[in-house]
Structure 1
Amino acid sequence: LRASSLLTAYLLSTQIFVEQDPVITVTKGGKAHLRCRFSTSGNSKVGTFTWYRNAPAPKGKEVNNDTHPTGIIKEETSFKDNDASIYILETLMQYAGTYYCEVDLVVKKATGNGTRLVVKMPENKPNSGELECICRYKKYSLTDILGKKIFRATAP
């Protein structure tokens, strides 16, 4: 066998294993860390990675700063450490979905099982101005509301 045939056979036999978190939950406006780690049966560190939303390639839509205008951070330097993770800087409700990490090592590609991104609304906690408004309108004292003694309040 020629050396080039051996090299081709070795490269084609290389396997890629891609791992993703199954689910992450982020509050709207927060930063989402979509983790993607990979390992290979060979020593290949030359390649790229791409993320897709709602389906792997070719059906999924590529995730980038055009599809997610609040910002995507893709750290190319981490690829040598077997890390293909990305960050969504400001998560919006419409970003919810399943994200797939694809690792391409030139001779072979592999895709993770997907990470489902759940985006939740922030908790609504009334600020003191809202409580004051409620108290003045209904003639409740703040102590009555916080102490749950509302039954003592008088009608307007």
Structure 2
Amino acid sequence: MRRFLFAIGLTGFLTVFLAGLAQAGVFKIPEEGATAISIDVPDSWNPNVSDDSIDTASPDRAVFFWLTVEKEADVAAVKAEALKALTRNGLKIDLAGVKESTSAFAGIDSTEWVYSATDNGQPRTVKIRATALGNNRFIQLAQWGPQAAFDKHAAALTKIFASVKAVGK
């Protein structure tokens, strides 16, 4: 009987423990402010959060992204800031081959730019998105990695980005 009760107790403990490991973090960015965004990122993506941004990588470190709230004049300035940061980090981005599209992000109209790039001689895809929150504040999303990795992690990325919500707007 003791073994049986021990087995049930151990099973319960492991269930709760493993469920805790599988939970994702919900982050509010910026942490203070009238209008912010929230995003739900799985712990396996090892999110790094600061006052106004989150950056993370897929578990295999093939796809990277950051999401931040920026104060800029317009979407072109948001894109320019992201491009500067990405090139400072070593990406060589083909600016001439950009593909631009519009769609909803966090329930708000947004613009996305997709570029071909290289990193240490390896081909990469770069995606930058700007979403207006109002009062010259924008959500800036930058993603990069090999296209095959974007394809591999498409379901997880879709779920993560579908979790983005404007809070306090």
Q: Identify the structure with the greater helix proportion.
A: 2
Larger Cα-atom Rg: 1
> When the two structures are superposed, what TM-score results if normalisation uses the length of structure 1?
0.29
Q: Which has the higher contact order (CA 8 A, sep 6+)?
A: 1
> When the two structures are superposed, what TM-score results if normalisation uses the length of structure 2?
0.28
